[in-house]
Amino acid sequence: MLKQETIDIIKSTVPVLEVHGTAITKRFYQRLFEAHPELLNIFNHANQKQGRQQTALANAVYAAAANIDKLEAILPVVKGIAHKHRSLGVKPEHYPIVGEHLLGAIKEVLGDAATDDIIGAWAEAYGVIAGAFIGVEAEMYKQAETQPGGWEGFRPFRVSRKERESEVITSFYLVPADGGAIAAFEPGQYVSVKLDIPGEDRTHIRQYSLSGSPGAGHYRISVKRENTVPGLPAGRVSVYLHEEIQEGDVLPLSAPAGDFTLDQGDSRPVVLISGGVGLTPMVSMLRTLAETQPERKVTFIHAARHGGMHALRDEVEQIVGEHPAFSAHWVYGTPTDKDREAGVFHKEGYLDLAFLQQTVGTTDAGFYFCGPTPFMRTVNQALKEWGIAAEDIHFEFFGPAGALD
């Protein structure tokens, strides 16, 4: 437990963190990688270059400071981050290193304003928060290893099938190279893929949602080639997967992780909303619902630029066609002439509240969504305007968590 004096000091720094948080975390990562370049084998280099990781950490530090007197309020955030840490291989010995450089960055950025009392209070608070992460992650490591078909660290999987799903998305079907059993997973979870790319100094690790259903005897990931957006750095890993990895090749995988999962104890209608490659966890949820709750009302809504960018459409339409309680609806931002002639989409332009209300028809449902951050902000705002209860809104960021409000 933290002393009241420590709590008071930490809370007094909240306004400062709001202003200087990103500068602190940017300097933190600089210090960390200068002193421990080996940790570059864990972190996503592209997220570092784009500033996403720095912003996510700044948000997490700010939330911890603002809730330092009621840390249970940020427990869901802790669990979400802990899932990613476990899938990446973050261990207890990393926390003192992080603490040293985080405190050093605070001191550097704030200068004389970072008094000994403030640094001391943050050192004490960091110890408590780090202890919470270590405890949660220890249980996750144990569960991942001891569950039926589970394993520790990264396990080699063979690509048994590679299939192009759209102009930019390709699926990889993965089976254990040792021929053994594989761990079950919750629809919505992901695996980490570790790659040593020829010519690269560092190992790359990326998380990809599982787009198949549990119990299939294999894992499926559906990967978007990320160098197709002007102005953004090429997706080194996704390009390598698309161009170089072939059937028969081996990829090291972590056991499934993640807390963005379908509530299968709920019998109310469920709404699955996705944009772009954000449909991958939704397809897993849809398949699971078809197998376990075929009478439950399910509305599947997906937004894509056009038909050529729309992955897994035939698969979803087949599942929906076999289940009278299911429906699927497509929103195309810039449909092609071929799309128009075929009449394959239901709305042109952007997903909005009016379309959601017309398509879903009820607020008494569970809403799950995933996609690019601007898309997610639009969906989140629409659901709030509609009056959807906060506990019925579930979403997942691909990469570091951002802010939707």
Instruction: Supply the residues annotated as catalytic.
Output: 95, 137
Q: Is 190 annotated as a binding residue?
A: yes
Work out the angle between the directed axes of helices 75-88 and 52-66 (0-180°, nearest 10). Answer: 140
Structure tokens at 335: 């449909």
Q: Is 275 annotated as a binding residue?
A: no
Q: Is 400 annotated as a binding residue?
A: yes
Q: Is 340 annotated as a binding residue?
A: no
Structure tokens at 303: 């937004």
d(CA 152, CA 86) in angstroms, rounded, equals: 10
Q: Is 276 annotated as a binding residue?
A: yes
Q: Is 4 annotated as a binding residue?
A: no
Q: Is 350 annotated as a binding residue?
A: no
Structure tokens at 209: 């949602």
Closest alpha carbon to 126 in 101, 157, 150, 143: 101
SS3 at position 368 = strand
Q: Is 399 annotated as a binding residue?
A: yes
What angle (nearest 5°) sits at the alpha carbon of residue 89, between those of residues 244 and 227?
Answer: 35
Q: Is 374 annotated as a binding residue?
A: no
The CB-based long-range contact list for 341-349 (8 Å cut-off, 24+ gap) reads 342/307, 344/307, 344/313, 345/307
Q: Is 281 annotated as a binding residue?
A: yes
Asked whether the CA dihedral 139, 140, 141, 143 is positive or negative, the reply is positive
Q: Is 308 annotated as a binding residue?
A: no
Which residues belong to the annotated binding site for NADP(+)?
A: 276-281
Which residues belong to the annotated binding site for heme b?
A: 85
